[in-house]
Amino acid sequence: MAIILYIDTAGEKALIGLSKDNQLLALAENSQSNTHANFVQVAIANVLAKSGLDMNQIDAVTVTMGPGSYTGLRVGLSSAKGIAYAISKPLIGISTLALLAHHASQHPVVIQNKDAIQIFCMIDARRMEVFGAIFKADNTVIVPEKSILLDAEYFNKLLLNGPILCVGNGAKKSKEIANHPNLYFMEESYEIDSFIQLATIKMENLDFEDIAYCKPAYLKDFYQIPSTKV
């Protein structure tokens, strides 16, 4: 089984993790989005030290490919590429929206409506816009990731196909414009366990990124995480 390094700087909270045999060895998190660049390398050194490992023992590097913060994605991917190249190990890219879908798949609403549920994963963008994608309960893609302008009409059309669980930090916007008994909300984000499980699947399938040519899924030319300051 593999030792995998995880790098996620796509959102407001960054994480650096290390797993072995699908079990988490160490985790470091940072909630200050404007300091992710300073956090990454120190956190990587810390999780390796905590696990009693060195960089050359890593079997693969996993990184979030977006969508998310423009600057955050560049920080994460450049770090991941540099490490993977330096130690001649594969690079695994994971969609932030796929991580949200995997995290939401254990929600009671999804379990109860597994044949009809639509998991609408959304990351907050500007105004009433989100970076979104829609998945089935088994994480099969229904609507691929794209920039989506939210309005009542959009939700009314989706609801014709079955109940919807809105998940991610864009779910709060949906509450403001849509109200329906088959519309559910889950504002929390994914955790490291979803990262580990999706990375393991890609590792087993040898589904790797091209270190030289892969790039983040920005979806738009520029995205800045909305400020939480009043």
Could you report the per-residue pLDDT of 55-111, keeping only the tens digit for each? 999 999 999 999 999 999 999 999 999 999 999 999 999 999 999 999 999 999 999
The answer to whether residues 81 and 195 belong to one domain is yes
Q: Which pLDDT value is given to residue 221?
A: 54
pLDDT under 70 in the chain at which residues?
A: 221-230
On whether the CB atoms of residues 15 and 8 are closer than 8 A, the answer is yes
The answer to whether residues 83 and 120 belong to one domain is no
Q: Which domain holds residue 61?
A: 3-95+190-204
The answer to whether residues 107 and 85 belong to one domain is no
The answer to whether residues 22 and 78 belong to one domain is yes
The answer to whether residues 78 and 145 belong to one domain is no
Closest CA to 8 of 125, 88, 144, 99: 99
Sign of CA dihedral 197, 199, 200, 201: positive
Question: Would you say residue 40 lies in a domain?
Answer: yes
Full-model pTM: 0.91
Question: Would you say residue 227 lies in a domain?
Answer: no
Q: Which pLDDT value is given to residue 137?
A: 96
Single-letter residue type at 108: P
Question: Would you say residue 165 lies in a domain?
Answer: yes
DSSP label of 168: S
Counted domains in the chain: 2
Q: Which pLDDT value is given to residue 172?
A: 87
Q: Which pLDDT value is given to residue 33?
A: 82
Q: Within the chain, where are the H helices? A: 36-51, 70-87, 96-104, 108-112, 152-159, 171-177, 192-204
Q: Which pLDDT value is given to residue 135?
A: 98
